[in-house]
Chains A and B, each alone.
Chain A
Amino acid sequence: MPDLDMVMAGLGDALGPVTLLFVVAGVVTGQFVGAVPGIGPVMAMAIAIPFTFVLDPLPAIAFLVGVNKGGLVGGAVPAVLINTPGTPDAAATAFDGHPLARSGKPLKATKMALYASTTGDTFSDIVLITVSAPIAAVALFMGPVEILALMIFAFSVIAGLIGDSLWKGVIALALGLLCATVGLDPQHATPRLLFGWYELYDGLPLAPVAIGMLAVAEILRRLAAVKGRPKPAIRIPESQDPADRRVSLAEYWACRFTLARGALIGTFLGALPGIGSTAAAFMSYASARHASRDPESFGKGSLHGIAAAESANSSVVGANMIPLLTLGIPGSVSAALIISAFMIHGIQPGPLLFEQQGRLIYSLFGAMIMANFVNLLAGQLGLRFWTRVVAAPESVIFSAALLLCIAGVSLSSGGLFGVAVMLMFAGVGYLMTAFGFSVVIFIIAFFLGPRFETSLSQSLVLLDGDPLALTGHPVALVLLGLAAVTVWHLGMRRPVKAARHGAGPG
C-alpha cells in the first residue's frame, strides 16, 4: 500500500501555484476547444503535447488532463445550443439539452450539464484514487506472458467494440502494429521498413502520427464540409426569470439517482479498454429513461436526460486512467495521448509507476481533483462566453489549428520531416475514417506495438516456443480464453443478431 507521507507530499505538490496555473489553463483551454464544434479535447491534447515538452512532468500532464476534463464540459455547450455536439460524447446531451434551450432556458441546460459533468468526474476520480494502487500491486505479479495475454485481450475488445465491423477493426489494429515495426527491431537492431528514409531509424514518431491522424485528418474533414457562413448560436434572452437561468439545489437533488447511475455506468465502462465516453453517455441515457417514472419527458428538455448523459461521459475520464496507470494500457485515444506525454517526460506507465513515481502519481490525482473544482468554477463564470465561441467561424478556427499542428510537430520532432509524416498520416487517417476503419484502434495498436513485440519475444523465450507451456500460466490462459470469446461474440454472434434485426451489410 502507498506510504501516507508520499501521498500527502504528492497531494501537496498538486496545490503548488505552478501546477494550479497549468490546471486552470488546461481546463479553460479544454472548455474553449470543447465549445467549438469539430475541435474537441482529443484534437486539442494532440496539438498541445509538443508544447508541453519544455514543462516539468506534473504541470505538463496536469495541463493535458485539464484539457480533457474541460473539453467534456465545453462539448455540451454547442450540443445544447445548436444541437451540434462539440464532442461525440455530448451527442446524448443534445437529446434533452437542445429542447430545453429552445424553450428559452439555455443557461439552465448548460448549467445542469456542468454540474452533472463535474459530479460524474469527481466520482470516477475518487474510484481511480482508491483502486489504482491495489490493482498496480496485483499487476506487479504479472510476467511477460500475462502482459502479452492482457494486450491480446485488450486488442480483441478494442477491435470488436470500436466501430461496427470486427474485421475492419482487426485490419486497423494490424496496420497500427505494422507501422510500429518501422525502424530498428528491438531484438537484433536491424533496420526494418525504412524505404531509404534514415530519419526513421528510431521508428515513426508518435506525435506526428497521432496529430496527423487525430487532428489534421479531422480538420481536413471539417474544412471539406464547410458550406457558407457558420450557423448562428441560439440567442440567450436578456430578460429571463432567474429560475430559468440556474439549476436550484432541489432540481439537482431530484436528479441524484440519475447522476449516481450515470457515474457508475461511466466509471465501469471507462475502466474497460475501448468503450469510450460516447457509449457510456448513451447507455446511461437509455438506463435513466427506462428507470424514469415519466419517460415521455425525455427528449423534450428533461433535466434527468442531461444529467444522465453528462455524468456518464465525464466519469469515463478518471476511470480511463485505471488501466493506463496500473497496466500501462491506454483504453482510449485521450489515454494514449496522456501516456505518450508520460513517456516524453521519461516516465513509463505501468505497475512499477506507483513504486518509482508514487509522489508524481498522487500529485496527478490531486491535480485531477483540483481540475474538477476549476471546471465547475470556470464553467460558472465562462458559460456565457463559451456560448459566443459557438459562433466563431470554422475557417479561422481550422486555419489556426493547422498552423498550430505544423508548429507543434516541428517543435517536437526537431524539423519538417515530422511535419511530412504528419501530413502523410493525415491523408491515411482521412481515408480510414471515410471507409469506416477506426483510427482510434490504429493509434492504440501503434502505441502498444513496441511493447507487444518485446512481450511476445520474452514470452516465446520463457515458453520455449511450446504452446502447452501456457498451462503453467493460468492467468494468461484465462485472458486468452476471454479474448477468443470476445472475438467469437463480437465477430460472429453480433453480426448475426444485427442481420436478424434488419441491418444489412454496408
Chain B
Amino acid sequence: MTNRLLGLFFACVGLLLLLVVIPRQTEVIDYGWMRPQSLPNAAAIVIAAAGAVLAFRPRGAIDFDWRKAGRAALYLVLVAAGVWLIALFGFEVVAPLIAMAVMLMAGERRPAWLALGTVGIPFVIWLAATVLLDRPLP
C-alpha cells in the first residue's frame, strides 16, 4: 500500500513540476533543439510516468519507522539550529555545543567520552583546518 501511495505521490509531483514549477522557473526560448526547459520537462515526465507505474505495480522494500524518523528529524533540527548559531557566533564557539547536544541526545553520559567529543574533536578539526590547511572555519 505504501508503495502505491508513493507512486501516486511521485505522479503528482511530476505533474506539478511539469505544469507549474518548471514553466515558472525557466525562461521561454523558442529556438534550438534543446531549450532551457527541455531536460527538466523530460525528467518531470519520467517522474510522473514512473510514479504512475509504481502506483499500478507496487514493488520494493520499505524501511520507514515513524519513531526513528522523528528522532532523525530532531537531530536534523538540532544541527540546523547549530549551523544558524555558527553563522552568529562562529564554529569555534558553537561546535562543542553541537557535539555535546548530539552526544547527550544519543544517551552518552560517560564524562571521559563527553569531554573527548566536546573538546578534543572540535580542537582537532580547528587544528586541521585553521593551522594545517590555513583555511578559515565559518
Contact = CB atoms under 8 A, between A and B. Distances in A.
A403 B99 contact: yes
A423 B80 contact: yes
Contacts of B33: 457, 460-461, 465
Interface in A405-436: 406-407, 410-411, 415-416, 419-420, 423, 426-427, 430-431, 433-436
B46 interface: yes
Contacts of B137: 407, 410-411
Contact of B26 (A174, A192, A402, A460): A192
A397 B53 CA distance: 41
B8 to A, nearest CB: 12
Contact of B72 (A220, A394, A465, A506): A220
Contact of A505 (B34, B58, B110): B58
B125 A185 contact: no
B6 A221 contact: no
A170 interface: yes
Contacts of B80: 420, 423
Contacts of A141: none
Contacts of B32: 187-188, 457
A258 interface: no
B71 to A, nearest CB: 4
Contact of A164 (B2, B44, B59, B121): B59
Contacts of B68: 221, 224-225
The secondary-structure label for the interface of chain B is: helix
Contact of A506 (B46, B61, B135): B61
Given A174-B46, A407-B129, A506-B3, A188 B36 contact: yes
Interface residues of B, number: 75
A460 B138 CA distance: 45
A495 B59 contact: yes
B75 to A, nearest CB: 5
Contacts of A220: 72, 75-76
A393 interface: yes
Contacts of A471: none
Interface in A182-202: 185, 187-188, 190-195
Contacts of B36: 185, 187-188, 190, 192
Nearest to B69: A434
Interface string B57-98: 111111111001101110110011011001100010001001
A177 B62 contact: no
Chain A interface size, as a band, is 35 or more
Contact of A416 (B57, B65, B138): B138
Interface in B110-137: 110, 113, 116-117, 121-122, 125, 128-129, 133-135, 137
A23 B57 CA distance: 48
Contacts of B102: 223, 395, 398-399, 402
Given A185-B36, A188-B32, A461-B33, A170 B50 contact: yes
Given A168-B54, A402-B79, A434-B69, A190 B27 contact: yes
B22 A193 contact: yes
User: Which of B33, B40, B59, B95 is the most central at the interface, judged by chain A CB atoms within 10 Å of its CB?
Assistant: B59
B13 to A, nearest CB: 9
A456 interface: yes
Interface in A443-475: 449, 452-453, 456-457, 460-461, 465
A246 to B, nearest CB: 34
B14 to A, nearest CB: 8
Given A410-B138, A416-B138, A461-B33, A400 B99 contact: yes
B128 A51 contact: yes
The secondary-structure label for the interface of chain A is: helix
B47 A226 contact: no
Contact of A435 (B6, B21, B37): B6
Contacts of A402: 79, 98-99, 102
Given A398-B102, A399-B103, A434-B64, A167 B71 contact: no
B135 to A, nearest CB: 5
A404 interface: yes
Contacts of A419: 83, 138
Given A187-B34, A396-B116, A423-B80, A506 B57 contact: no
Contacts of A195: 25
Interface string A266-289: 000000000000000000000000
A310 to B, nearest CB: 26
A165 interface: yes
Interface string B1-41: 01100110010000001000110011101001111110110
A427 B25 CA distance: 23
Nearest to A221: B72
Given A399-B102, A406-B91, A410-B138, A436 B72 contact: no
A175 B83 contact: no
Contact of A434 (B43, B51, B63): B63
Contacts of A119: none
Nearest to B11: A171
Contacts of B125: 403-404, 407
Given A226-B106, A395-B102, A506-B62, 4 more contacts: A174-B43, A223-B72, A229-B107, A399-B106
Task: Please give me the 8 A-B residue pairs with the lowest Cβ-Cβ distance, nearest first.
Answer: A165-B60, A395-B106, A460-B33, A395-B108, A224-B71, A178-B43, A399-B102, A174-B46
Interface of B: 2-3, 6-7, 10, 17, 21-22, 25-27, 29, 32-37, 39-40, 42-44, 46-47, 50-51, 53-54, 57-65, 68-69, 71-73, 75-76, 79-80, 82-83, 86-87, 91, 95, 98-99, 102-103, 105-108, 110, 113, 116-117, 121-122, 125, 128-129, 133-135, 137-138
10 contacts: A174-B43, A177-B43, A221-B72, A223-B105, A395-B102, A399-B106, A400-B117, A435-B2, A465-B33, A505-B59
